[in-house]
Structure 1
Amino acid sequence: MLKLRQIHHIAVIGSDYQTSKHFYCDILGFTLIGEFYREERDSWKADLALNGQYTIELFSFPNPPVRSSRPESCGLRHLAFSVEDIGQSISALNEAGVICEPVRTDPYTGKPFTFFTDPDGLPLELYESR
């Protein structure tokens, strides 16, 4: 059996690099730990960390094709983040102009969760872990 240790990173392609970088760093709170312009691809690559852990590889490419994510497309469904207080987290997102769906309760754990999207419509989830 393959012995995976952990998830190394998640790659996200944004249609507007500066907008995506602002969203992930300034709104969600990721730290920019590396940023590289790749002239041969006319593309940016940013390495983003969450609480010191390298987590997201943010890319830009000229005119990337739109990837369908709803309704329930095959493939990666969403990216979920654990939060201590979902109400406080939703308020912080709302203050930044990010709209969240109504809070739901996970029928298996009883924990509250909600969904919102990044600037390109990538579904993101907040899941209360306390």
Structure 2
Amino acid sequence: MLRRIHHAAIICSDYQRSKDFYTRILGLRIIAENLRAARQSWKLDLALPDGGQIELFSFPAPPPRPSTPEARGLRHLAFAVDDLDAACAHLVAQGVTVEPIRVDEFTGARFTFFPDPDGLPLELYEVRQAVPVTCSG
């Protein structure tokens, strides 16, 4: 029945600032950008490398999202990365505040969090590729 997540939708407070963050800093490719004039809203479709998408919306005066303390509902959006140290260094070089790296107590994987321009918690989760074992004989 369900195959994968198709997209995550994010409402931002400053469309140009968030568009810059998701395209220039995170490197997502623009699929489509449309002004929905009747709703005074921009909709930006962004491609994730695995085929998933992020839809970035702007609306006039959206209320802030409660992030702390953690509220009911979607907790955060996580992105898989091959090299967490390199991804963190890239974000820090762009002026993004990145939390200290932690280790998942159950999987042993390393991860960290950083905010988007509206404080939405985003996670980087390191997924190491298995190295094939070869036998010589």
Whichever residue aligns with residue 117 of structure 2, its letter is: P
Which residue in the other structure is 1:53 paired with? Answer: 51
Which residue in the other structure is 2:120 paired with? Answer: 122
The superposition leaves residues 39-70 of structure 1 with CA deviations (integer Å, 9 ceiling, x where unpaired) of 11111001000126241011000100111122
Say whether the 8 Å CA contact 1:10–1:55 is kept in structure 2.
Answer: yes
* Residue 110 of structure 2 is aligned to residue 108 of structure 1: no
Say whether the 8 Å CA contact 1:47–1:54 is kept in structure 2.
Answer: no
Determine the C-alpha separation between the residues in 1 that align with 2:51 and 2:25: 18
Question: Runs ≥4 in structure 1, deviation > 6 angstroms?
Answer: none
Question: Aligned residues, how many?
Answer: 128
Task: Provide TM-score, normalisation by structure 1.
Answer: 0.95
Say whether the 8 Å CA contact 1:29–1:50 is kept in structure 2.
Answer: no
Rg larger for? 2
* Residue 12 of structure 2 is aligned to residue 8 of structure 1: no
Determine the C-alpha separation between the residues in 2 that align with 1:4 and 1:53: 15
Task: Give aligned-pair identity as a percent.
Answer: 59
Which residue in the other structure is 1:37 paired with? Answer: 35
Determine the C-alpha separation between the residues in 2 that align with 1:45 and 1:54: 16
The residue matched to 1:53 in structure 2 has which SS? coil
Q: Which consecutive unaligned segments of at least 5 residues does structure 2 have?
A: 129-137
Determine the C-alpha separation between the residues in 2 that align with 1:61 and 1:101: 29
Task: Indicate how the Cα distance of structure 1 residues 109 and 23 shifts in structure 2: closer, same or farther if over 3 A, else same.
Answer: same
Task: Provide TM-score, normalisation by structure 2.
Answer: 0.90
Aligned counterpart for 2:75 among listed residues 74, 77, 81: 77
Aligned counterpart for 2:17 among listed residues 5, 11, 19: 19
CA shift for structure 1 position 5: 2.0
Determine the C-alpha separation between the residues in 2 that align with 1:53 and 1:116: 23
